[in-house]
Amino acid sequence: MTEQQTAARVAGFLYLFTNVTAIFAYSVRAQLRVRGDAVQTAANIAGSERLFRIGIATELITVAGVIMLVAALYVVVRPVNRNVAILAAFWRLAENLVLAVATLPAFAALTLLSGADFLQPIDTQQLQALAYACLRVHVTGINLGFVFLGLGSAAFSYLLWKSRYIPRALAALGIVASLVLAAATLAILIFPGLAAVLTLAYMAPMGIYEFTLGFWLLVKGLRTPAVTGTGPVAGSTVPAPRE
């Protein structure tokens, strides 16, 4: 197998793995955080602190996995257009830098709810409100990271579409789904009330794309030789598509 084929299958596995870990981390947040209720949220976290910490750790595992995914995707699409591949990689790296830093407010919330002696001068309800505010910042950080996720994924999807490594319909879905994710999360950052209106519907196309692409790359690999502006890359051994 060529370097690109190996990278493609690694990327396929990581698409599936990081989606599973991301869904788990989201489910933990959804289970413990009660929208608009700082008191109940604090009680949930205090009663399931270990689960809350596991959720944060899973977010960091997802970040590490996605960085590996970005490296694999870069190897796959670099022969198509190196400059666009670099741009896509940097957008995705910016995403994961933001997502990693976004876990800090979640740890701050834990500190505020820890009952430590140095917090005794602060009223309990104030601590709960501050902890809830930290969790809101945590979610805002995730949305901010998703803007860069959408941009980087759109660029990678464009290179996959151009190269014909995967079915063009799947790559086109990736471009559209990625841009929808970036636009929707940016809109939510500007108009926070949209989050309740959009729910998670705007993420569905991206989820379908990434799971489908993950299975495709893991099982089938790449379909065609790399293509540049002047034709196939010399010496490429990626198999041609089967008619």
Annotate 16-68 with three-state secondary structure. Answer: HHHHHHHHHHHHHHHHHCCCCCHHHHHHHHHHCHHHHHHHHHHHHHHHHHHHH
**Residue 85: per-residue pLDDT:** 97
Q: Residue 232 pLDDT more than 90?
A: no
Share of the chain above pLDDT 70, in %: 91
Q: For the segment 182-224, what is each residue's pLDDT rounded down to a tens digit?
A: 999 999 999 998 988 888 899 999 999 999 999 999 999 998 6
**Residue 223: per-residue pLDDT:** 84
Cα 100 to Cα 56: distance, rounded to the nearest angstrom: 10
Q: Residue 227 pLDDT more than 90?
A: no
Residue 117's pLDDT band, with cuts at 50, 70 and 90, is confident
Share of the chain above pLDDT 90, in %: 81
Q: What is the CA radius of gyration of the chain?
A: 21
**Residue 200: per-residue pLDDT:** 86
Q: For the segment 126-178, what is each residue's pLDDT rounded down to a tens digit?
A: 999 999 999 999 999 999 999 999 999 999 999 999 999 999 999 999 999 99
Q: Indicate the average pLDDT of the chain.
A: 90
Q: Are 176 and 205 in contact (CB under 8 A)?
A: yes
Provide the residue ranges of all domains of the chain, joining segments of one domain with +.
3-224
Cα 113 to Cα 13: distance, rounded to the nearest angstrom: 38
pTM value is 0.87
